[in-house]
Structure 1
Amino acid sequence: MAARVSQEEACGRIVEGTRLLGEHVGTDAHREKWVQEKVKEWAGSVERVATAAKFAPHEAYAACSKSLQYEWKFVARVVPGAEGQMGQLEGMIRDRLIPALMKGRRSEGPPTQHDVWLRDVAALPVRLLGLGIPKPTETADKDYKTSAAASEAITEAILRREDIDADEHVKRGQKARVAHKEAVKEAVEKEWERLGSQSGQAASDDQCEEVRQSKEKRQSGWLTATPLKEHGMNLSPDEFRDAMTIRYQGRVGGEKSRCEGCGGR
């Protein structure tokens, strides 16, 4: 009797949408609201990571690049239209996280051309002088289309109430991944070339030259290493920020007029 009453109540309940296996099912309006709440949550997490970066920038960078950013990347793959709602999150990354990992912004107020240039560079892969933190406002839609194409065989089988052709699913998935990888590689190469030629108000000649030489130098391995103290891989706040400043051809802070390693100014 209790089970029947519970079932009747469930059938009469109006549900606009809900979370299911990490994604959203429901009306478009409820989906937008759900994504907005997630974006607000992620922006808050990025802000907390940026605050922690004041005392532990190396660990904060690892937390975002190796863990936190994959939360919104997953939602972007399974929820359509999320890209247009990522503005708050991207703003927090540009205005709080990136400056916290370096020496801070040159000025308060709106981002300068140099701030925008640094954020654009940070979106590049680490091997190209970036930080490997892409802009969610530019990648979400592409990720969703790739995910939809990769799972197309399963979707069609479910809609037709047919058995899933595993071989066809694998074939389409591989094709979608290859196409996505090639498209991303092409876009990254164009962006890398653009950023390497923007000397002027956005960046200095030395900074642009550093971007152009990043492929040949291959000096970014330290940034991808997990900062484990027991292995001696964690850098102190000063060590990390000085390394980041030198990486982007800025000036180190404090009384350090020369590099402690090579003696150069």
Structure 2
Amino acid sequence: MAMYSISVTPLIASLQDPHVAQVWFADDATAGGTLWGLHDWWCKLKDLGFMYGYFPNAAKTSLIVKPERLDEAKQQFAGTGVSITVEGKRHLGAALGSRAFTEAYITEKVESWSRCVRRLVNIAKTHPHAALGGLGICDPKSHSDAEFDSSVKITSALVALIVQQELTFSIDTLEAQRSAKCEVVRMKHRAHDEVAATLCQSLPVGLQRIVALSSEKGASSWLSALPVEEHGFALHKGAFRDALCLRYGWLPSGLPTQCVCGQGFSVDHSMNCPTGGYPTLRHNELRDFTAAILSEVCTDVCVEPPLQSLSGETLTYATANREDGARLDVSAVGFWGGHHQRAFFDVKVFNPTASSYRATPVASLYRRFEKEKRRKYEQRIREVEMGSFTPLVFSTFGGISGCTSIFYKRLAYLLSLKREVPYSSAMSWLRCRISFSLLRSAIACLRGRVPTVVVPSAIGHLTLYYQRVGCLPPNYLNCSL
């Protein structure tokens, strides 16, 4: 059985005493026991410590005793320089001592946390995204008991070794800790899921759909990303409030009553109205971003590649595109493994809360639009272009279809190899970038302003592209998002 030794085991072993229990954390030593046992332990520590490069400092050492033992402690430790107290001392972020000292210490901590929360509230008035990004602000009062139980469960294996004064621990102890951590995580996820399910059932049907859309994989990436302005991941206060309204189905403030197209204005209408070309900008930004990233890992990347004209080929589906000069959104060579095969991609962004889609499950909508794209282009791509076709389908809430997920996972894998970063970092960054792209486009559709993010219609100079869309250059992906 594998055993692991503590780095200062010789010194700790030489200090072992049946009347004293000692606990070490790096170079911080703590001991508890009888007064005379602690005195002997302290003297040994001073005498033997220099042999291991350890020099205890009496001025920074405290002895905590019960009030009735104070006089005895002063006599026992006279001349050592160790300070003696009956109140208590702070130790490694915790309080050791009397109940009054512990309560005073905790009160000071809570007051400090309260001041920070109040300061955060003031910051949120002008910079809500920086202050509230993630929205994962828990109530410590309601979570304290569960967190304490989790801490006890995770540390129980180590506590048992400390109580037994063991100087080594086995692989079984590490496995017990790992299992305890996994169990705590599972319990938290299970509790969160139960609370979410209960709350969701109490919501109106329309709001249940919106919450489900906002809970899709990747739809919340804009909330969990660091709001770093230089990377394009920061929202001003108006955009952040609009984003929350869109996320939870609330009505944003300050909307007009009538659209410039002449119809009544609503959130759903703004997501679909072609006046101003905002849905097209939304589509083009995703297209150009995808093409820019593909250009790093593939060759001969092209935006809006023309397809060869048909010359007698028969296409099965009536909805297949037979036009001369037909184009798709992006093509690249070598994406799916074949060094000479060209892969074609076409982007579709839809609004799942539109009146014509509300009664249809979102999973069915993803499959429907994928099938429509495949019937329109796949046979022509396969038989005429001798290439592959992948539809890229997005919802305005940030969700993506199954084929789109597979595509971006493959892209993240190739990107991780190219930039020499972990796959998880590359995938997280891609999800974050897609989420912000869809979010900014949705806000632009809502407010009728040209988005801050402006993308070129072709790849051209990648440096200009990176500057305009807030996309991270290759050496920026080392940061954790």
Q: Is the pair's TM-score, using the shorter chain for normalization, greater than 0.5?
A: yes
What's the CA shift for 1:9? 6.8
Of all paired residues, the percent bearing the same amino acid is 28
Which residue does 2:219 correspond to in 1? 219
Q: Which is higher, the Rg of structure 1 or of structure 2?
A: 2
The answer as to 2:159 corresponding to 1:155 is: yes
Matched, 1:23 2:27: no
Distance between the aligned counterparts of 2:160 and 2:112, measured in 1?
A: 34
Q: Any gaps of 5 or more consecutive residues in structure 1?
A: 66-130
Work out the CA distance in 1 between the residues paired with 2:252 and 2:176: 50
* Shift, 1:251, TM fit: 1.4
Per the TM alignment, residue 42 of structure 1 is displaced from its structure 2 partner at its CA by 0.7
Offset at 1:60? 0.9
CA shift in 2, pair 1:247/1:212, >3 Å: same
- Contact 1:153-1:164 within 8 A present in 2 as well: no
Aligned position for 2:146: 142
Give yes or no for the alignment of 1:39 onto 2:77. no
The one-character-per-residue Cα deviations of 1:202-248 (angstroms, maximum 9, x if unpaired) are xx543333224444474111111111111111111100111012211
2:83 to 10, 16, 19: 10
- Select which of 177, 180, 185 maps to 2:181: 177
CA contact (8 A) 1:192 1:211 kept: no
After superposition, the Cα gap between the structure-2 partners of 1:217 and 1:176, relative to the gap in structure 1 and judged at 3 Å, is closer
Within 2, Cα distance between the matches of 1:232 and 1:218? 17
User: Hey, what's the Cα distance between the residues in 1 that align with 2:88 and 2:241?
Assistant: 44
Give the gaps of 5 or more residues in structure 2: 1-57, 60-76, 258-265, 271-442, 449-481
**SS of corresponding position for 1:196:** helix
Amino acid at match of 2:98: T
Q: Deviations over 1:170-202 (max 9, x none)?
A: 122111111111111111111111111123xxx
Checking the alignment, whether the CA contact within 8 Å between 1:151 and 1:169 is kept in structure 2 is: no
Q: 1:206 to 1:44 in 2, by over 3 A?
A: farther
In structure 2, C-alpha distance between the alignment counterparts of 1:59 and 1:263, rounded to whole Å: 22
The structure with the greater share of residues assigned to helix is 1
1:155 CA drift (Å): 1.6
| 3-state SS in 2 of match to 1:151 | helix
The residue type paired with residue 139 of structure 1 is: H
- Relative to its length, the structure with more strand (as a share) is 2
SS in structure 1 opposite 2:90?
strand
Q: Secondary structure at the match of 1:53?
A: helix
Q: For residue 235 of structure 1, what is the amino acid of its counterpart?
A: L
User: Which residue matches 1:242?
Assistant: 242
1:1-265 → structure 2 map (5 Å cutoff): 7=80, 10-11=83-84, 13-14=85-86, 16-62=87-133, 131-199=135-203, 204-216=204-216, 218-256=218-256, 258=266, 259=270, 260-262=443-445
SS at match of 1:226: coil
Shift of 1:256: 5.0
The whole-number CA distance in structure 1 between the counterparts of 2:79 and 2:205 is 70
Letter in 1 for 2:101: H
RMSD value over aligned CA atoms? Answer: 2.9
In structure 2, the CA distance between the partners of 1:210 and 1:135, relative to structure 1 (3 Å rule), is farther
Residues of 2 paired with 1:205 and 1:264: CA distance? 27
